[in-house]
Structure 1
Amino acid sequence: MNELLAAVTQAADPDHFAALPVPESCRAVTLRRDETELFAGLDRRDKDPRKSMHLTEVPVPEPGPGEVLVAVMASSVNYNTVWSALFEPVPTFAFLERYGRTSPLARRHDLPYHVIGSDLAGYVLRTGPGVRAWRPGDRVVAHCLSVELESADGHDDTMLDPEQRIWGYETNFGGLAEIALVKANQLMPKAAHLTWEEAAASGLVNSTAYRQLVSRNGAGLKQGDNVLVWGAAGGLGSYATQLVLAGGAQPVCVVSDRAKADLCRRMGAEAVIDRTSEDYRFWNADGTQNPREWRRFGSRIRELTGGEDVDIVLEHPGRDTFGASVYVTRRGGTVVTCASTTGYVHEYDNRYLWMSLKRIIGSHFANYREAWEANRLICKARIHPTLSRVYPLADSGQATYDVHRNRHHGKVGVLCLAPGEGLGVSDTELRAQHVSAITRFRDAAESAA
């Protein structure tokens, strides 16, 4: 491990990386199978990921055919990290057990511990048989789609592969570790103008937002569209807001406080709704929904758009907001949903869907092509990371707790092998042109501290 640390710190050449011995073990953030009942009986809000996430020394797996070991410089926290650590909606060990039954190679994933995390930026350390596109020493980021592609179903859109899984959530050996195991077709080039922690922040959320909004598999965003973005200063929403602006459309950003509203305006959004200060209450005390509040919300949107309803709603809160989302979408418009962070059972008035010819599209992460195109925008500095805070690997539980309790803006990063922040930049000229946008969320967090 000392040789590996020296190599990544000094940015050793590819021949050096190829000659490095692979450590037998490394540090990783794990969940334990024997703790899946740790939070039994507790309300979701009272569950504490700091208690379930452990920094552990684990064996480093041998890369199989088509697989790659990556020396992880930095990672980040996503909402699936929160779900994993809370053992919701089911403990992830059920995923690992199911995956382990599919093949002898997959059996390695079914362990009494789960190395979690679905983002990384780092160096290729070792490649398995058959890997030709990448070699040791390459600077890479990873998207989180793991596929087998032995079925015809996935060959038009790999997200439809029956054996599609999310790496670090439904598979083991994830990114919150010093060394991670990925498939070669998860890798993409690291943006040269970004630090390790900045580069690690975008993979999951940027790709997810790209498929939801831009791809033909999602809403098919076009110039001039009005797009309602829930949680517009959060991890997913902050990238969605940028993609809407870059596509010549207008985001209508919904946030929970004034500081997040200011961040949206700094990104270039003009239509911003602070749902807390405007006190929208879509649910009554008796558990029924409140259509009057839907109408009030729709009126507020039209005030901001010059009298127009939204063409697209980027949905991810789920239960709390879904009825309102369906209502405020324009006739013939689209609600595209990728998550349910406030609850999985949605209620909406179907009259406003069928009689106005609206559509609901389910969207889950992105295929390799979509992830590659989303990453290309990052590499070209058309879309910028929204990193607001960085933690050491040992404090991953605290980082996840902050996301769970919505104490963060944008994305929360984690340093793995990187000895400090600010490393990994090789294109200083491009960075200088965009540094204020790159550090926008970080600067806002430091100003608020």
Structure 2
Amino acid sequence: MAAQNGSSHVLLDAVRSGASGPELREIELPTRFRAAFTRKDEVGIFEGHADKDVRRSLHVGEVEMPELAPDECVVAVMSAAINFNTVWSATFEPVPTFAFLERFGRQGRHGARHDLPYHVLGSDGAGVVVRTGSGVKRWNPGDKVVLSPCYVDEEDHGSYDDGMMSESQLAWGFETNFGSLGEFCVVKANQLIRKPAHLTWEEAGSTTLCAATAYRMLVGSHGARMKQGDVVLVWGATGGLGSFATQLVKNGGGIPVGVVSSEEKAEIARAQGCEHVIDRSELDLGEQGFRHPKAGRMLGEAIRRLVGEDPGIVFEYLGRETFGASVYVARRGGTIVTCGSSTGYRHEYDNRFLWMRLKSIIGSHGFNYHEAVETNRLIGLGMIHPTLSKVFPLDEAGEATRAVQTNQHVGKVAVLCGATSEGQGVDDPALRERIGEKTLTLYRR
């Protein structure tokens, strides 16, 4: 059965109706499909603009279906999610991602597919496998999956110790093309993970990047190696990363201290199990915020009032605004584990508080495949839960990204791609009932 005029609807409709793997194989791939993308000819449109509104640069329309490499799969994306790397891509900062695609394009025939005048974005998603390359052994059409954004070259020796130590490791959908913000995406087979059966498509597609990043930072052997009883300061405790960090600390026997920006967010953090919450608006830091000279001292005093001691670990991803305070408040011998810098990349801190008190800074980036699978296992067991707050249709991918860009959200923001409505995709309603809708939809306010 052939897709008519290259339309994606025939194959998508079959996926939506629960067609079997053999049935999906018989339906031809569409030659084009709808996706959210940036355009190379628009790099520079924000020059001279203080507000780089991503709704101007993020377009939704038809793109070409690429050729499939032997180690790749085509996935019908039911739902995707917005991460801050989508904001960076859509603002063309810190560098236009087309530079990544051009570099990738020099790596042979399959790399050249990625060097296009448009960039399909998206690094989180969930869906159904509809095609597998000739070299794929463990996955088949019809498999329901979530997508890991860690794109690793198996021929790079560094990937066999830790995928993140491979010099050729890429962030899929950010440094590669054909990401998750579309009706279909193209992934390497080693990016696929079984979808947790009790989650909806939009919930499952919103967890992997942030949850596994937080897992590597806090739990994995390459991060802070949190242990029972550790006091952990979590910046942005209801944000994409912070909302999962709080759960991982609590689940692992640690003591989370969450920093939030409003009483509404403090309520959510407490409901998620974070007993100790600091509302930054109550610290009277003025316009300088946490770059105020006394911010570290004021924050440290607030933490000690709550838990009686300084944090052994600081979960840091905000960057310039908070880093000086993070270094200050960590206890003697403590650890500041950092990834990303959503408030700026150039950090300032007083080095005396680092060297004289024997503290450590650990840089962390993404996660390897094993860490992604271990994180997904916790989610599948119902020990870690989605933190989804808003869901947008694919046509409004720009609005969804704008919500993240302007911090008008809590937790995660999802985009329905192939799913026709919210609430679809649950295969284990009994487990869902045991966990409870209130827990799974805590952030839906």
Query: TM-score scaled to structure 2, two decimals?
Result: 0.96
Show the counterpart of 2:323. 322
Answer whether contact 1:123 1:137 (CA < 8 A) is retained: yes
Which of 198, 202, 206 is equivalent to 1:197?
Answer: 202
Amino acid at match of 1:13: S
Answer whether contact 2:285 2:292 (CA < 8 A) is retained: no
Which of 241, 246, 250 is equivalent to 1:245?
Answer: 250
Show the counterpart of 2:383. 382
Which of 215, 219, 223 is equivalent to 1:218?
Answer: 223
Show the counterpart of 2:312. 311
Cα distance in 2 for residues equivalent to 1:153 and 1:130: 22
Larger mean CA deviation between 170-179 and 140-149 belongs to 140-149
Deviations 1:34-66 (A, max 9, x none): 0010101222xx111111000020111121011
Query: TM-score scaled to structure 1, two decimals?
Result: 0.96
Show the counterpart of 1:292. 294
CA RMSD for the aligned pairs? 1.2
Matched, 1:84 2:82: no
Which of 49, 56, 71 is equivalent to 1:51?
Answer: 56
Show the counterpart of 1:427. 428
Show the counterpart of 2:27. 20
Matched, 1:275 2:277: no
Deviations 1:275-294 (A, max 9, x none): 0232335948xxx9543221
Cα distance in 2 for residues equivalent to 1:272 and 1:298: 13
Answer whether contact 1:149 1:163 (CA < 8 A) is retained: no
Answer whether contact 1:391 1:414 (CA < 8 A) is retained: yes
Cα distance in 2 for residues equivalent to 1:281 and 1:124: 51
Answer whether contact 1:282 1:294 (CA < 8 A) is retained: no
Aligned residue for 2:100, secondary structure, equals helix
Matched, 1:112 2:117: yes
Amino acid at match of 2:359: K
Cα distance in 1 for residues equivalent to 2:333 and 2:214: 21
Cα distance in 1 for residues equivalent to 2:207 and 2:414: 10
The within-5 A match list for 1:298-447 is 298-305=300-307, 307-434=308-435, 435-442=437-444, 445=445
Q: How many pairs are equivalent?
A: 437
Answer whether contact 2:250 2:273 (CA < 8 A) is retained: yes
Cα distance in 2 for residues equivalent to 1:358 and 1:280: 25
Which of 40, 64, 69 is equivalent to 1:33?
Answer: 40
Cα distance in 1 for residues equivalent to 2:162 and 2:12: 39
After TM superposition, give the deviation of residue 4 of structure 1 in Å.
Answer: 1.3
Show the counterpart of 2:17. 10
Deviations 1:340-382 (A, max 9, x none): 0000000101110011110000000100000110111111111
Percent identity between matched residues is 55
Aligned residue for 1:27, secondary structure, equals strand
Aligned residue for 1:30, secondary structure, equals strand
Deviations 1:215-245 (A, max 9, x none): 0100001000000101100111000000000
Cα distance in 2 for residues equivalent to 1:408 and 1:293: 25
Aligned residue for 1:273, secondary structure, equals strand
Show the counterpart of 2:100. 95
Unaligned 5+ runs, structure 1: none
Aligned residue for 2:332, secondary structure, equals strand
Answer whether contact 2:201 2:423 (CA < 8 A) is retained: yes
Show the counterpart of 1:131. 136
Cα distance in 1 for residues equivalent to 2:131 and 2:155: 25
Answer whether contact 2:150 2:369 (CA < 8 A) is retained: yes
The within-5 A match list for 1:121-270 is 121-270=126-275
Answer whether contact 1:282 1:291 (CA < 8 A) is retained: no
Unaligned 5+ runs, structure 2: 1-7
